[in-house]
């Protein structure tokens, strides 16, 4: 597949050729050798209706159903019941932080590679970008035109806005009618209780969840020396801080935050991977995928 997208490195794509991102839990997929399926039948067999979403082709709308219900629905066929994966890309203000490479830029590279991997497997892959609410949504599809739109969405995403991850997950849960794979890329800078509760709600609906928490190393080590004014990238609130006095307490609380996320997500059978942006994204991705393969 030919693409000039800056977030797809040809060397990384070549290495991905020998790796699969398999679903470990029960998903509504149909692809022999990759995913177990609860469905039987031929590829052109009618499977179900689902509500029309932005990005769907208008020609697929069933106008008879519209006449009865006054709402747009499209038909889905058996060939469209492969694994469905949604990549959730956090583009809130805090994701713009980074000393050399911002967290958002790093997440973009990971998102593009994961989208390619799923597309290569002929799985349906879509994307949703968000800050305090859902911004752009492309529904899962295995068609190349949709994949190219995903890459365009990734490339043009810019950081800005506050975070409301629990609200975003709640909005998205109303749109996902079939079980699938949800991949979240975020720094998780939001209320942990709300975030975990929302993710657990997804799991209760039988979705499989992968969470990549992406951080800049300085957010943990707090290497600053001089007294300075720290500005919140989302709210613009400012605070004068003396790093040498605040560092120990800050690191302790930050460590507790990370431990809290890891422990509670793993208890909920949600894959959790902490990644720092000073680890090259391809190394981080392949390390995770290899570890995942061992657990299958």
Specify the DSSP element, H or E, that contains 119: helix 103-120
Query: Does 146 fall in a domain?
Result: yes
Query: Does 219 fall in a domain?
Result: yes
pTM of the model: 0.77
For 281, list phi and psi in degrees, rounded to 5: -60, -35
| Euclidean distance between CA atoms 33 and 78, whole angstroms | 17
Tokens 């995403």 label which residue? 157
What is the CATH number for 112? 3.40.50.410
Tokens 């190219």 label which residue? 148
As for how many domains the chain has, the answer is 1
Residue 86's nearest CA partner among 161, 19, 168 is 168
Which pLDDT does position 163 carry in this prediction?
A: 79
Question: Which pLDDT band, with edges at 50, 70 and 90, does 289 fall under?
Answer: confident
Which pLDDT does position 166 carry in this prediction?
A: 84
Q: What is the pLDDT of residues 162-191, one digit of tens each?
A: 878 888 888 887 777 777 889 999 999 999
Residue 109 in tokens = 């590279």
Query: Does 3 fall in a domain?
Result: no
Host domain of residue 128: 10-19+82-295
Indicate the angle between helix axes 144-156 and 103-120, nearest 10 degrees: 180
Beta strand residue intervals within the chain, DSSP E: 46-51, 73-77, 84-90, 124-130, 134-141, 181-186, 208-215, 228-231, 238-241, 271-276
Residue 205 in tokens = 């609906």
| Euclidean distance between CA atoms 183 and 8, whole angstroms | 18
Query: Does 117 fall in a domain?
Result: yes
Query: Are residues 106 and 159 in contact, defined by beta-carbon separation less than 8 angstroms?
Result: no
Residue 33's contacts (CB-CB under 8 Å, 6 or more residues apart) are: none
Residue 222's nearest CA partner among 247, 196, 258, 189 is 247
Which pLDDT does position 23 carry in this prediction?
A: 59
Query: Are residues 51 and 138 in contact, defined by beta-carbon separation less than 8 angstroms?
Result: no
Query: Are residues 184 and 211 in contact, defined by beta-carbon separation less than 8 angstroms?
Result: yes
Query: Does 30 fall in a domain?
Result: no
Question: Which pLDDT band, with edges at 50, 70 and 90, does 33 fall under?
Answer: very low
Query: Are residues 251 and 222 in contact, defined by beta-carbon separation less than 8 angstroms?
Result: yes
For residue 30, pLDDT over 70 is answered with no
Tokens 């000039």 label which residue? 4
Which pLDDT does position 47 carry in this prediction?
A: 54
| Euclidean distance between CA atoms 196 and 140, whole angstroms | 24
Fill in the DSSP letter of residue 56: S
Query: Does 183 fall in a domain?
Result: yes
| Euclidean distance between CA atoms 104 and 92, whole angstroms | 9
Query: Does 191 fall in a domain?
Result: yes
Query: Does 257 fall in a domain?
Result: yes
| Euclidean distance between CA atoms 89 and 186, whole angstroms | 7
């Amino acid at each position: 597949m030919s693409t000039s997208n800056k977030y797809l490195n040809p060397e990384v794509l070549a290495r991905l050729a020998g790796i699969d991102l398999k679903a470990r839990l029960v998903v509504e997929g149909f692809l022999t050798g990759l995913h177990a399926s609860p469905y039987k039948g031929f590829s052109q067999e009618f499977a179900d209706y689902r509500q029309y979403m932005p990005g769907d082709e208008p020609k697929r709308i069933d106008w008879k159903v519209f006449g009865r219900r006054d709402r747009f629905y499209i038909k889905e066929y058996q060939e469209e019941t492969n694994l469905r994966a949604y990549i959730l890309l956090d583009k809130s203000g805090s994701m713009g932080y980074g000393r050399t490479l911002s967290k958002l830029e790093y997440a973009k590279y990971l998102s593009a590679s994961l989208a390619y991997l799923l597309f290569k497997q002929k799985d349906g892959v879509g994307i949703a970008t968000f800050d305090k609410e859902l911004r752009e949504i492309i529904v899962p599809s295995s068609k190349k035109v949709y994949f190219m739109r995903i890459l365009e969405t990734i490339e043009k995403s810019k950081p800005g806005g506050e975070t409301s991850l629990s609200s975003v997950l709640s909005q998205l849960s109303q749109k996902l009618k079939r079980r699938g794979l949800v991949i979240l890329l975020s720094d998780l800078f939001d209320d942990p209780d709300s975030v975990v509760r929302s993710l657990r709600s997804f799991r209760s609906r039988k979705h499989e969840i992968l969470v990549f928490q992406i951080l800049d190393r300085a957010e943990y080590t707090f290497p600053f020396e001089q007294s300075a004014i720290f500005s919140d990238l989302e709210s613009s609130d400012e605070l004068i801080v003396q790093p040498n006095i605040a560092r120990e307490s800050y690191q302790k609380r930050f460590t507790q935050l990370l431990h809290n996320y890891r422990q509670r997500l793993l208890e909920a059978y949600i894959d959790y991977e902490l990644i720092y942006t000073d680890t090259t994204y391809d190394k981080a991705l392949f390390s995770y995928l290899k570890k995942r393969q061992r657990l299958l």
